[in-house]
Chains A and B, each alone.
Chain A
Amino acid sequence: MLGRAANGVYWMARYLERAENTARLIDVGFHLALTRSNRSSQEEEWRSVLTTTGQEAGFLAKNADVTGAQVFNYLLRDRDNPGSVLAMIENARTNARVVRTSITNEVWEATNETWMILRELLARPVRETNLGEVLSTIRRRATLVRGAMEGSMLRNEVFNFARIGTFIERADNTARILDVKYYVLLPSVAWVGSSLDNVQWDTLLRSVAGNRVYSWLNAGAMDPRDIARFLILDGRFPRSLVFCFEKIRSNMAGLAKQYGGEVQAHQLLRDAGCRLHDTNIETIFEGGLHEFLQDFLGRTYRIGESIAADYRFTA
């Protein structure tokens, strides 16, 4: 396939995943705003949403205060924000148009329709009363596109590049969320076990859609170290780092098989995979959770760059 087309499906999948992740983060911020009366702690939550999405600087350049409505409108639909959900959906659709011949009609139509629906839904400022509808539409639409890919695409290089895009984005997202909030999981924090902590932990799980599964697995009990283990090392959870890396690995293996050989990215991936597999949560905490996550984010980034270069995404 063309290098440009590989680039297109890869980014189409990444943007869709990123749009969905942003919607989840906003949902968490909103949820907290409803459960917390303290204005400054609400503001703190919205700030951490901005930090996690890497959009704090852009937001503060335009807005003096950090209020919920300002933050979610900025993240969802602000024309000056190239990282808004609307912009990402537009990017995803533009990439889908570029690779129209590589994807199936189902995938194209699902993507195009997503763009049409969200453009309409985000044409006017979002209010708290319809935020829930907007966020669930984004999640449902992303699920639909993923389902269309799953159900209609040939399992070949095109599919592999799309999946690699999805899981690199997702791994990056989970690691980022953890890194912004890593301190709430550290044992040194004084108020361990307080109800506030429970809310913080719940928030963390919620932002990767893991709160219910985690509660189910642990019969409602919460333990910070175990939460970290769950989000990093539990291969059953589809947003954990290990799960994402296993998906990247298998899709990269698919490419190696079709192309009759490996590229540099395969080696980088193996190195990063070893760091995840040959460890346990105790070792991670000993070496420092933040340091571990920073290292992971750096490696994921380099793998992405290497894939783009090795498979000639651009001339």
Chain B
Amino acid sequence: MSSAGGPRYDEMLNDDGSVRAAYADFRHWYDGQDVAWLRRQDVEAERFFRRIGITFNVYGDDAGEERLIPFDMIPRIITAKEWRKLTRGIEQRVRAINAFLQDLYHRQEIVKSGRLPVHFLRENEAFLTQMIGFTPPGGVYTHIVGIDLVRTGADDFMVLEDNARTPSGVSYMLENRETMMQMFPELFTKIPVRPVSDYPRRLMRSLQACAPSCAGSRPSVAVLTPGIFNSAYFEHAYLADQMGAELVEGSDLRVCNGRVQMRTTEGYKPVDVIYRRVDDNYLDPLSFQPDSVLGVAGIMDVYRAGGVTIANAPGTGIADDKAIYSFMPDIVEFYTGEKPILKNVPTWRCSEADSLAYVLDNLSELVVKEVHGSGGYGMLIGPTSSKKEIADFAAKLRTKPANYIAQPTLSLSTVPIFTKEGLAPRHVDLRPFVLVSPDGIDITPGGLTRVALKKGSLVVNSSQGGGTKDSWVLDE
């Protein structure tokens, strides 16, 4: 089953089968390699990942079972020109998201202007009343953003999703590159690939620049993880290690003397910036979910008094909600005064009667997603679903329409993967990582390319059998 919605754009090959300029050098190298040797390298890569422990835990599986996200060794290549345009679009979008959050938690001009109906805030759990009237240190809400992009043509990149809470996957961007450089060092002498390895250092600097005013000249930064059973624990540990930050759990922290302090072997010491990989709900049992043991009791009071920076700020989830997503073109225009550089995927809000009727009539051609869902769970992909699956989904949709949005099934671009039979095209997306601080917006040249390993599949999520690739941005 191939994807619907028109011809598919392959990033390596032209329609006539010739190789595009971006891939020319790589393809030249590839064609000169012994396939048996490449196969051995492929097996070697998996062994390497296991040994260094890049694994993730799949929820619902046997406790403690760790899996590898499959790694495909054919790089995804982006030209300097394409990247320039993408970064302009991403920067614009991220600026708009921060301005939007600042506005939502203060004057709500966008609501007053009539561009965003107020019920989208009121009925949204991601909108935190605790944040109203409060400005985070440095005015930054989303310190780390991951923008999910899909491509449907030579010049057609679209934003599929904004990840403004706690985007994950950056460790794969770094380790995939590391692996490629170990396996094929000569490639990097032949092809000018922009480095990504300084991301952790940039992240540290960016977070330190957002420290509260009570911090000293060298603000202390800690990564807050839910612990070793969290699916992204590897990444939390990896980042903390590379940044030179402490990796803390909720039980290491407590509030005293108006600061958040961590329990060290020498007693309690204040933390200035907390890069939390814990959801809003679990952050503070006094403010949110009372039975949470992952967070720190009283941290929100310290935060609101300016005693600590929390990255990303609580309540940023409102900006990456899928219903809000459908307003993004308006949001970008409202806050930047510019036309959006990156397109949105056309989105029907099922809460609206007209849209719902259209969606119900065209389910077999649409992708329907839960407004608050993530990870590829709870969605319907019309073209690949059976009649019964579609009928069942329609019933759910009718019961709770406001819970869903629908989008056309996009013809995602393909990039080759390495298979036993040689190169074979598979659908991909791209998540570049963006850092925001008062010093500016910093986009690492590259990102995480997720790839659907099954032929024809459009689902790239690792929880649904997707893999990853190294993503190259070519130097000018």
Within 8 Å CB of A98, what residues of B?
Answer: 228
Q: Is A191 an interface residue (CB 8 A)?
A: no
Q: Is B262 an interface residue (CB 8 A)?
A: yes
Q: Scoring B residues 244 to 274 as 1 if CB is less than 8 Å from chain A, else 0, what string do you get? A: 0011110110100000001111110000000
Complex CA distance for A199 and B288, rounded to whole angstroms: 67
Q: Scoring A residues 101 to 145 as 1 if CB is less than 8 Å from chain B, else 0, what string do you get? A: 100010011001100100000000000000000000000000000
Whether B251 pairs with A4 at a CB distance below 8 angstroms is: yes
Complex CA distance for A94 and B233, rounded to whole angstroms: 12
Whether A1 pairs with B265 at a CB distance below 8 angstroms is: yes
Within 8 Å CB of A58, what residues of B?
Answer: none
Q: Scoring A residues 251 to 263 as 1 if CB is less than 8 Å from chain B, else 0, what string do you get? A: 0000100010000
Whether A97 pairs with B237 at a CB distance below 8 angstroms is: yes
Q: Is B81 an interface residue (CB 8 A)?
A: no
The verdict on A105 contacting B265 (CB below 8 Å), with A2-B246, A94-B228 known, is no
CB < 8 Å neighbour of B53 from A3, A4, A97, A311: A97
Within 8 Å CB of B53, what residues of A?
Answer: 97, 108-109, 112
Chain B: interface secondary structure?
mixed
Q: Is B240 an interface residue (CB 8 A)?
A: yes
Complex CA distance for A6 and B252, rounded to whole angstroms: 12
Q: Scoring A residues 294 to 315 as 1 if CB is less than 8 Å from chain B, else 0, what string do you get? A: 0000000000000000011001
Looking at B50, B237, B254, B262, the one whose CB has the most chain A CB atoms below 10 A away is: B237
Complex CA distance for A4 and B267, rounded to whole angstroms: 12
Interface size of A by Cβ–Cβ distance < 8 Å?
22
Complex CA distance for A2 and B237, rounded to whole angstroms: 14
**Which chain A residues in 192-249 approach chain B with CB under 8 Å?**
none
Within 8 Å CB of B264, what residues of A?
Answer: 1-3, 312
Within 8 Å CB of B248, what residues of A?
Answer: 2
Whether A101 pairs with B240 at a CB distance below 8 angstroms is: yes
Within 8 Å CB of A113, what residues of B?
Answer: 51
Whether A100 pairs with B251 at a CB distance below 8 angstroms is: no
Looking at A4, A112, A116, the one whose CB has the most chain B CB atoms below 10 A away is: A4
Whether A311 pairs with B265 at a CB distance below 8 angstroms is: yes
Q: Is A169 an interface residue (CB 8 A)?
A: no
Complex CA distance for A6 and B52, rounded to whole angstroms: 22
Q: Is B389 an interface residue (CB 8 A)?
A: no
Whether B251 pairs with A315 at a CB distance below 8 angstroms is: yes
24 inter-chain pairs at a CB distance below 8 angstroms, sorted by A residue, are A1-B265, A2-B246, A2-B252, A2-B265, A3-B263, A3-B264, A4-B249, A6-B265, A97-B233, A97-B237, A100-B238, A100-B241, A101-B240, A101-B241, A108-B53, A109-B51, A109-B53, A112-B52, A116-B50, A259-B265, A312-B263, A312-B265, A312-B267, A315-B252
B residues in contact (CB < 8 Å) with A: 50-53, 228, 233, 237-238, 240-241, 246-249, 251-252, 254, 262-267
